[in-house]
Every structure is written in C-alpha cells, then in structure tokens.
C-alpha cells in the first residue's frame, strides 16, 4: 500500500443489500503520513488465526438484535501479517486469506496469495489482480458458474451498506453454503482507529455490522485488520467504526488513489 501525505456525507437511508480493484496499487505501508512514521520493530508477529465470537449467538439478519457477524463454524480466521518491513504491503493478501477462510478450513497463506496476486513489495497489489487471485482459489472449491468475486467502484454509502447487508449475514447470499462472506474495502487509513493519523492506501475485510441506528452516524461495521506496526497500525485484530467514518475513509481513497475499484464482494 502506498502511503500518501495529506491533511461525511449526509446519510441517504437505503437498505438494499455490502470487504477491491482495477488500475491501482493497494498498499498498507510504504509512503509517508500525516504526522508520524510507523514503528519498524524488529519483532516478527507470527501470522495469527483465531475465530471471532458473536455478540449474540442467536443474532441473524431477521432477528430483533439485527447484529449479524460471521461466527461459530462460519467464523473468519483472523490473520496478522508478520511484523517485518518486507510484509509492510501485504494487507491485500491478508484480507484475501481471511475471506477465503469462509470457504475452506485451510486457506492459502499470505505468501502464496501474494505470489498469485502479483504483489509488488514496494507498492502492494493491483485491484484486478486481487480479484483474479480470489477467484483462482475459489472456483476449484465451488465450481465454475456458481458465482465469483467482483471488484466495483462505490459512488454512495448506500451501495456500501447494501453490499455489506447482503453479503455478511449468515445464509443471506451464498447459494452453496449456509454462511455469509466478508466484503473487502479499499480505504485511506489516516482517519481510522489504530493508525494515529498515518496515511496509507489499505484494504480491510468487513465481517459484521449493526444497522439498528438508522443513520450513517449511528450504524456501525466491524472489520478485520491484518496490518502490524511496521505498516503503521497499532491496534487489535478487529475494529468497529460508523458507516460515516468508513465512508469518509473510502472518499479519501477516491481522492488519493488511482484504482477506480474500491470494493470486492461475492456475486452470483
């Protein structure tokens, strides 16, 4: 992910049904910031995987709780990149590995995904290559003609909400399995938690949401982070932000990145 220096849209409520890419690099840590530089610690964080538990075991897209999140046997296997300089731009392989963990108990490692996605160490992964890599691993699992991941360009927060709402809940979208799937989103990191203002092109995996608030300032999404401090991130494996905050990070990506595709989601 290339780093870039720099200094909400009123919510239009449209609950249709939303964790990118064509002409740009998605980097999670290779250029400058708005205020500080990432710590380049010598320690290596081994790639860590664990299941994310649900805030409510009975929550479903139609329940009163209405807080869908990928859980239980359907849980995403969270991934943390090795915390060394050579892995500073591996956010896309990390997000892809978490996405593929919904389809197989043995998702490929980030090194294999990086090779398949043609990762360039100083920049990251082109969007179209990210989509092609996902489908390279997916089609042998589900068969051709049964759906694939596609990259799109977001023009409104309603489109983002729609894709999250359709993709993430258990059983709401996928014809071949009784589980949902993360939505991958390209963002700039400067305004997101854990980055301390450090600005970089980045990819996150949306794995849950709570849309009971009814506005972009009240509705929230939960997403998984694979980056470490060498990339500029100093936070936990998951974060929760408002749709308003997430959309602001997407708009920043529109301003500073050249890849027109900023979301990857499953399509039948």
Q: Is residue 15 included in any domain, yes or no? A: no
Q: Give me the CATH number covering residue 254.
A: 3.90.70.30
| Residue 252 clears pLDDT 90, i.e. is over it | yes
Q: Grade residue 260 by pLDDT with cuts at 50, 70 and 90.
A: confident
* Inter-residue contact 97 to 79 (CB < 8 Å): yes
Q: Is residue 18 included in any domain, yes or no? A: no
What local confidence, expressed as pLDDT, does residue 43 receive?
28
Q: In the predicted model, what is the mean pLDDT of the chain?
A: 78
Q: Is residue 50 included in any domain, yes or no? A: no
Domains: count for the chain: 1
What local confidence, expressed as pLDDT, does residue 7 receive?
33
- Among candidate residues 84, 263, 66, 246, the one with its CA nearest the CA of residue 183: 263
Using one digit for the tens of pLDDT, what is the confidence trace for 140-166? 999 999 899 999 999 999 999 999 998
Per the structure, the complete domain to which residue 173 belongs is given by 25-37+63-267
| Residue 58 clears pLDDT 60, i.e. is over it | no
Q: Is residue 51 included in any domain, yes or no? A: no
Q: Is residue 56 included in any domain, yes or no? A: no
Q: Is residue 107 included in any domain, yes or no? A: yes
What local confidence, expressed as pLDDT, does residue 27 receive?
64
Q: Is residue 188 included in any domain, yes or no? A: yes
């Amino acid at each position: 992910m290339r780093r870039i220096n720099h200094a909400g849209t009123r919510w239009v409520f449209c609950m249709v049904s939303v964790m990118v890419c064509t002409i740009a690099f998605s980097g999670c840590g290779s250029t400058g910031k708005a205020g500080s530089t990432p710590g380049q610690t010598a320690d290596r964080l081994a790639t860590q995987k664990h299941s994310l538990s649900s805030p409510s075991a009975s929550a479903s897209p139609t329940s009163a709780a209405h807080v869908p999140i990928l859980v239980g046997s359907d849980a995403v296997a969270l991934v943390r990149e090795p915390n060394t300089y050579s892995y500073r731009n591996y956010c896309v392989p990390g997000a892809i590995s978490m996405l593929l963990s919904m389809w197989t108990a043995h998702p490929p490692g980030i090194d294999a995904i990086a090779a398949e996605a043609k990762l360039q160490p100083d920049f990251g992964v082109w969007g179209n290559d990210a989509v092609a890599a996902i489908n390279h691993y997916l089609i042998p699992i589900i068969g051709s003609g049964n759906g694939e991941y596609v990259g799109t360009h977001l023009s409104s927060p309603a489109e983002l909400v729609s894709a999250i709402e359709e993709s993430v809940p258990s059983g709401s979208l996928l014809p071949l399995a009784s589980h949902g799937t993360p939505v991958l989103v390209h963002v700039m990191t400067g305004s997101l938690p854990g980055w301390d203002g450090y600005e970089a092109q980045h990819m996150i995996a949306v794995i849950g949401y709570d849309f009971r608030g009814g506005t972009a300032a009240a509705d929230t999404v939960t997403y998984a982070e694979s980056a470490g401090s060498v990339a500029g991130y100093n936070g936990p494996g998951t974060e929760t932000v408002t749709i308003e905050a997430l959309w602001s990070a997407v708009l920043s990506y529109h301003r500073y990145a050249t890849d027109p595709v900023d979301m990857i989601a499953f399509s039948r």
